[in-house]
A and B are shown apart, each in its own frame.
Chain A
Amino acid sequence: MMRPSTVDYNGRQVDIEWLQSILTPNTSAKRLYMQFSPDTKIVTGMQKMAQRFTNTFLTIVGDVKFDQNFGTTFWDDLFSGAAQNLGRVAAAVVQAIMFAMDSIQEDDALTDVYGELPDDERLEGATLLDYSIDVNNGVLSIQIELTSLAGGSYTFVLPVQAIRS
């Protein structure tokens, strides 16, 4: 949940918005889905941070040509059967979170290459809050909270759809 504050986004580095969000009923966390909107917007601040984290988290490590270390093992673990029980899901998610954080924090430190990053866009931590499996619909829902160096937090749910055979 975002802390109430007034932030001046002038002069911020921007990205193209890719992560859409909807408020699901009876939850305080946004449910994210990946899609470019019909009227493309730019994104900055914590939303950009969440977008970076999500992109990194969901990229299969080794999938990106010329950047074989980018991404996490999340999908590989799912494909190898981690979704069979919640304990394995948790372990896979936690490990993937670690991979994603390392990757993001590595680039955040390269200010001479990418420029300065304000504290509210610098990822300090990522925590797995909750997770559940809807077996009937084949959906794995992961609730993650991101915290920035500025103290702000961003909680969201990642729905991961299984491929039905």
Chain B
Amino acid sequence: MTDSLNTITQEKFDQAESLVISLLRSAVPNLDLRRGTVLRDLLVRPAASFYALEADRLAEAQATRSLQLMSEAGTEPTAEAVNAILSNFMVDQRVGSKATGLVRVLVSNNQTYTLSAGLTLTTLDGITFGISTTYTAKPNPDSGDWRQLPVLPAEDGVNYYFNLPVQAVEPGADGQVEAGTAFTLSTSFAGFVSATASAQFSGGADAETLDELIERLPAAISHRSLESRASIDAILRSADHGGFGDVLQAVSVVGYGDAAQLRDKHNAQGVAMGGKVDIYARSFNQPAYVTLEKRGTLISPNTYSIEISADDAPGFYAVRAVADAEAEISPSLEFGALPAIGSYDVADVRAHTNLALTRHDLDPANGLIESAFTTLQTATLIVNDVAGADAEYRQFKVQLYVAPQLADIQAYVDDPSVMNVKADYLVRCPVICLVGLRVQVVRHPGDELVDVEGMRAALANYINGRSFVAQLTESEIVAVLHQFDILRVNMGPEPSRGFQMSGVLRDAAGNVHQLSGPRLDLRKVVAPQYLLTADTIVFAIDPNDIYITVSDE
């Protein structure tokens, strides 16, 4: 903090002096405060100097009273200033962590090598690692001493090697160097040949920036119990609580008053009574699916039945594909439709289990809907048109869209030490509007290279970030494409129009809805009775379902 008059600028002093003169004149108007007077020299100037100093100190203190002001100041504040504010909320700024890994040190002789503490190893990019203890690499190390490393014959049959544990000097994700990354040593030694990363390093994380902290803080300081939308989101993500922060991309909490909340209307009047919460947890970026090998039972000629238990794929959303066990399944969907290309025709019949045993309140009369996409859901897949099939049993490969760790999240909110005793929390996989995209971009005359893969990645990233919103529009997609150096997107009239967007989603009753056109508007398919509202649906796209063609004008 400012503690010297030497830091006061002329401008600040002038402002302070004007104020002191004004204040004195208003209080004691018969004092002559002009320059050259004794009062000016002995009273006004010292008072103005100290006033300016205190004004500076106050400004410094005010600038550190909020994280937002620190961020707007444009200079990185001290950790002390940030943590002083955070201590009021028992939150810590994430300081990052140092990556660690093993360096494969290749040496020419099978002998003892000593690597002293303080030795540093640096990559070509300038990332430095070090060792904090002295290691001895020898052909026959003592098994009980972790500081003795075995020297082993290398694959080339000529040299030898040992694996040296190192840690990055500075925290940061860039310390997670790839396997094979070369290092130079700060101090070489006789017999040294080379040093490379034995495998990808891990554990490196960047320190949290002030902007990231400001974004995280509302969730971090929300009340630490499952009582509000913000606190539910915060608790699930918090490393000190749910710990699902790395997997949860978006969370939608459907509770009292929300159209898609059906479970709090279990009364004769069908009136919402509260006390029930459905948590739609998007724990994936692009659509995630599991591949199971399941045995099908022949139920009629060319038709098999496959049972999906509640534990096979908890809360699965939809069937992506069913194929023979040894068959390859296409990475792409049929544009605007399920299942994936190459899949058998499948009828997906949902059911539920353990409704009578669970503590969660679900209406058995509406069990199919109310258990949809939860850990209580089961299914029977009827696989049709299996050619040449007459065996009683047949192995199939089944791909199901899931929300990873759904069962873990449900288990967490069911934990007696966590759960809200006033409410019933059920975790669901979000309804996924699976998007397909075909675009034609026109490049600038003379341009040869267009970053198609970059566009695909950017589009996938954008669409997979659209969770629990009412629509996805072509203008959003076009805006993403124009981040790349293209002339235009072919938005001309049919049939030459170079933009097609489709979406397919399945509601809790099993009805499949298809959307297409310049706007995928979820309001067209809203059906709260089947858990279809903007609060329950996310947009998602697999990069394989983005088709980009490049043309000239």
Contacts and interface: CB of A to CB of B under 8 A. Distances in A.
A66 B49 contact: yes
Nearest to A100: B36
Nearest to B30: A13
A131 B33 CA distance: 31
Interface in B13-42: 13-14, 17-18, 21, 25, 29-39, 41-42
A114 B36 contact: no
A18 B17 CA distance: 22
B265 interface: no
B35 to A, nearest CB: 5
Interface in A41-65: 44, 48, 51-53, 55-56, 64-65
Contacts of A44: 32
B45 interface: yes
Contact of B32 (A14, A18, A103): A14
Given A114-B25, A115-B25, A70 B35 contact: yes
A103 B35 contact: yes
Nearest to B10: A66
Interface in B275-334: none
Contacts of B39: 15-16
A13 B49 contact: no
A139 interface: no
Nearest to B34: A107
A19 to B, nearest CB: 9
A12 B30 contact: yes
Contact of A56 (B14, B36, B38): B36
B35 A51 contact: no
A98 interface: no
B32 A104 contact: no
A7 interface: no
Interface residues of A, number: 28
A8 interface: no
B17 A66 contact: yes
Contacts of A115: 25, 29
A124 interface: no
Contacts of B48: 66
B13 A114 contact: no
Contact of A51 (B17, B21, B37): B37
Contact of A16 (B8, B17, B38): B38
Contacts of A18: 38
Interface in A61-118: 64-67, 70, 103-104, 107-108, 110, 113-115
A51 B36 CA distance: 8
Interface in A120-159: none
Contact of B31 (A14, A52, A64): A14
A114 B45 contact: no
A90 to B, nearest CB: 23
Given A15-B39, A16-B42, A114-B25, A108 B34 contact: yes
A61 to B, nearest CB: 12
Q: SS class of chain B's interface: helix, strand, loop or mixed?
A: helix
A38 interface: no
Contacts of A107: 34-36
Contact of A114 (B5, B8, B32, B42): B32
A14 B30 contact: yes
A65 B45 CA distance: 9
Interface string A1-21: 000000000011111111000
Nearest to A11: B30
B34 A51 contact: no
B15 to A, nearest CB: 11
B13 A56 contact: no
Interface in B57-92: none
Nearest to A44: B32
Contacts of B14: 66
Given A13-B31, A66-B10, A66-B17, A52 B36 contact: yes
Q: Which of A13, A14, A104 has the most CB of B within 10 A?
A: A13
Nearest to A17: B38
Contacts of B32: 13-15, 44, 48, 114
Contacts of A11: 30
B21 A114 contact: yes
A52 B41 CA distance: 11
Contact of B34 (A16, A52, A65): A52
Contact of B21 (A48, A52, A113): A113
Contacts of B17: 66
Contacts of B31: 13-15
Given A11-B30, A12-B30, A13-B30, A67 B38 contact: no
A50 to B, nearest CB: 10
A103 B36 contact: yes
A103 B41 CA distance: 15
A55 B38 contact: yes
Contacts of B18: 113
Given A14-B30, A66-B13, A66-B17, A53 B25 contact: no
A114 B38 contact: no
Given A15-B38, A66-B10, A107-B36, 6 more contacts: A51-B36, A51-B37, A55-B41, A66-B8, A66-B14, A104-B34
5 A-B pairs closest in CB distance:
A52-B36, A13-B32, A66-B13, A107-B34, A56-B36
19 contacts: A12-B30, A13-B31, A14-B31, A14-B32, A15-B32, A16-B38, A18-B38, A48-B32, A48-B37, A53-B36, A66-B45, A67-B45, A70-B36, A103-B35, A103-B36, A104-B34, A114-B21, A114-B32, A115-B25
